Structure 1
Amino acid sequence: MIERLSSEEFIKRLRKIGELRYHDKHPYHVRMHEGKLSPEQLRAWVANRFYYQKNIPVKDALILSKLPTREDRRDWIQRIIDHDGREGNDGGIEAWIRLGEAVDIPREEMLDERHVLPAVRFAVDAYVNFCRLQPWPIAVASSLTELFAPTLVSSRIAVFEQLYPWIRPEGLEYFRARLHQAPRDADHGLTLVIRECATLKEQEQAMAALSFKCDVLWSLLDALSLAFPNKE
């Protein structure tokens, strides 16, 4: 029995999880990128995805509290700043609220979560709790969906501009910021996971964590598919 996967094989298997299970393959998401969602369906995606977005800095703060070195904490804290913002930078949560406004969801309706489906809330809360309870390298591994995000975000900007011209362009700033944030975060997270997962068992736990995160994102779209079915 092998003691551990080589770093190259470990990375290959992590990336394979995304190739097979990332949420860009979900039928709801496929329809979105084909320009086939109705305004109601797209607004539902924006409003429900916001519950996930607003919890990203919460899970990152939980991970931050467990990182053992100041060097790692200095790098990780940038994720929280990116989403929560600071003086002179409103951050990603505010940018997503503006996306909501750009698709005609009033700010107060985004903030009071009236459109958030119970299954979406349950899945996101489960992810935050996972990061609270798991050892920090495994929680970091769950964030490695960022490995698959940059290409998707780039195509999403083009899709929204070309296929949903009714979305006001100022609403797309969140995605433009993620074009450089996501690759940086993915590289840092992958470095930590490769460094810390020194045994085959730990590597397997990391891969299971990434699979779980893919399931969380898939579940959000399952909930939307049930609540907002196609009317064709």
Structure 2
Amino acid sequence: MLKSNLLSNEQFISCLRQVGEDHYHDKHPYHIKMHEGKLSPIQLRAWIANRFYYQKNIPVKDALILSKLPSREDRREWIQRIIDHDGREGNDGGIEAWIRLGEAADIPREEMLDERHVLPAVRFAVDAYVNFCRLEPWHIAVASSLTELFAPTLVSKRIGVFEQLYPWIRPEGLAYFQARLTQAPRDADHGLSLVLRECRDRRDQEQAIDALRFKCNVLWALLDALSLAYPDEENGR
């Protein structure tokens, strides 16, 4: 594709954001019901337990991307993502925080860790995302992470939803979401800057947009699986 067809940064960002408007998982019926307070305890616990498989693989995909970043400056900044989720001395990290969310919703820790509740389709979708980040050029893998552009607003709403509509979840379980209010905007700014810098022709830009759409489809697939496995009629609604 000719460079003359290159989107301006403003146009490119607008296209990326449009992917979120059209495809982000907050528009999935299961997610809408969650934010309307209409999920049963069984359905919400299923979401927490299955989403954990995604959460625990975030630092894995970030490590794959890290291994391909060409400069130490970029690696120094990217590695913070892994620390945020895996933790280090004095900071348990996001994976532990998600386990505590499960415990706050009365899912025993051992049931989170042994993944007994993870649906095959959820496992397949998350593994596909990890493999995408393993196999694609690093700047395209980074583009797939740009769902962070849409996350802060959603996470802020989710905290209020859980506090008001699911009061049976103990409040200490919301620490993961509270941390993401500052982590996600930082990560989105860095990821976007890398994508804008590295996508130097229209083909790269289109691949980046497609990568973000793929990631949105992964998150959508998780909710499709939950909708099939935990329909309303099986939970007394």
Q: TM-score range by the shorter chain?
A: over 0.9
Q: Give the CA RMSD over aligned residues.
A: 0.6
Following superposition, the deviation at residue 96 of structure 1 comes to: 0.1
Structure 1 stretches of 4+ moved >4 Å: none
Post-superposition CA distance 1:184-221 (Å, at most 9, x none): 00000000000000000000000000000000000000
- Structure 2 residue ranges without an equivalent (≥5): none
- Which amino acid in the other structure matches residue 79 of structure 1? R
Alignment partner for residue 37 of structure 1, among 36, 39, 47?
A: 39
Alignment partners' CA distance in 2, 1:200 and 1:4 = 5
Alignment partner for residue 27 of structure 1, among 26, 29, 42?
A: 29
Alignment partner for residue 142 of structure 1, among 132, 141, 144?
A: 144
Alignment partners' CA distance in 1, 2:116 and 2:5 = 50
Alignment partner for residue 156 of structure 2, among 154, 161, 175?
A: 154
Aligned match of 2:196: 194
1:163 aligns with 2:165: yes
Aligned match of 1:101: 103
1:27-176 equivalence runs, <5 A: 27-176=29-178
Paired residue total: 232
Alignment partners' CA distance in 2, 1:6 and 1:35 = 41
Aligned match of 1:3: 5
Post-superposition CA distance 1:52-83 (Å, at most 9, x none): 00000000000000000000000000000000
- Which amino acid in the other structure matches residue 43 of structure 1? R
Post-superposition CA distance 1:24-43 (Å, at most 9, x none): 00000000000000000000
Aligned match of 1:177: 179
Following superposition, the deviation at residue 108 of structure 1 comes to: 0.3
Following superposition, the deviation at residue 169 of structure 1 comes to: 0.4
Following superposition, the deviation at residue 4 of structure 1 comes to: 0.7
Identity %: 82
Following superposition, the deviation at residue 3 of structure 1 comes to: 2.7
Q: TM-score, normalised by structure 1?
A: 0.99
Alignment partner for residue 208 of structure 1, among 206, 210, 217?
A: 210
- Structure 1 residue ranges without an equivalent (≥5): none
